[in-house]
A and B are shown apart, each in its own frame.
Chain A
Amino acid sequence: KAGVTQTPRYLIKTRGQQVTLSCSPISGHRSVSWYQQTPGQGLQFLFEYFSETQRNKGNFPGRFSGRQFSNSRSEMNVSTLELGDSALYLCASSVTGEQSPLHFGNGTRLTVT
């Protein structure tokens, strides 16, 4: 069974631009969560989607948004990029999300210059 796939692996963007990250969950998994990982703040929860609906949201500004498609694939968008948005963005999928184990992808490394 294929794992969680995140594309692209690396991105370099300029301040003010926007970016879209993609996540394909494990087949049969309906919950997709996104986390931001930085050396200073560690791992922080961004949001979770289940059956195309946002079910949970972390404490991030509105520049961070996401969506989930009918095939459970998810995208995350960050608009008006800031230097502080440089991070590893991790996607995780689970069967239902209700305390079922999370399976993480290898992440997208975003660098904002």
Chain B
Amino acid sequence: GNSVTQMEGPVTLSEEAFLTINCTYTATGYPSLFWYVQYPGEGLQLLLKATKADDKGSNKGFEATYRKETTSFHLEKGSVQVSDSAVYFCALSFITGGGNKLTFGTGTQLKVEL
């Protein structure tokens, strides 16, 4: 079956540090890939997505590139802020029965300190 593996958290960084959160996937075929972010007490928000190999998704300074050869979609940001503290989820989906079913990783908590 399809699965997503993320690095364990929490990840603790100082403000302005470089961020990488690793994500790899197992899937039959070529899924679309997503990063979602969850702030405390809230639902998930779509951060960025990529729908085919070598696509780069980007938003709010975050980037991730769909790497088919390594089945990876690592999240990066050049300079994190305290406000980036949240839980980040990597996810994949296929068009299944005409619908949209997301398979999520376990989430990685990011803590950014001053």
Contact = CB atoms under 8 A, between A and B. Distances in A.
Q: Are A and B physically bound partners? A: yes
Interface of A: 4, 31, 33, 35, 42-45, 48, 50, 55-56, 58, 90, 92, 94, 97-107
B106 interface: yes
B43 A106 contact: yes
A82 to B, nearest CB: 22
Given A42-B106, A42-B107, A98 B43 contact: no
Contacts of B42: 106
B36 to A, nearest CB: 8
A107 B39 CA distance: 12
Most buried by A among B43, B93, B97, B106: B43
A56 B41 contact: no
A22 to B, nearest CB: 15
B101 A45 contact: yes
Contacts of A31: 99-100
Contacts of A102: 44, 46, 100, 102
Interface of B: 32, 36, 41-46, 49, 51, 89, 93, 95-107
Contacts of A45: 101-103
Nearest to A3: B43
B100 A104 contact: no
A68 to B, nearest CB: 12
Contacts of A43: 44, 89, 102, 104, 107
B43 A56 contact: no
A97 to B, nearest CB: 4
A90 B95 contact: no
B44 A98 contact: no
A104 B45 contact: yes
B43 A100 contact: no
A56 B44 contact: no
6 contacts: A42-B106, A43-B102, A104-B36, A104-B43, A105-B43, A107-B43
Most buried by A among B44, B51, B89: B44
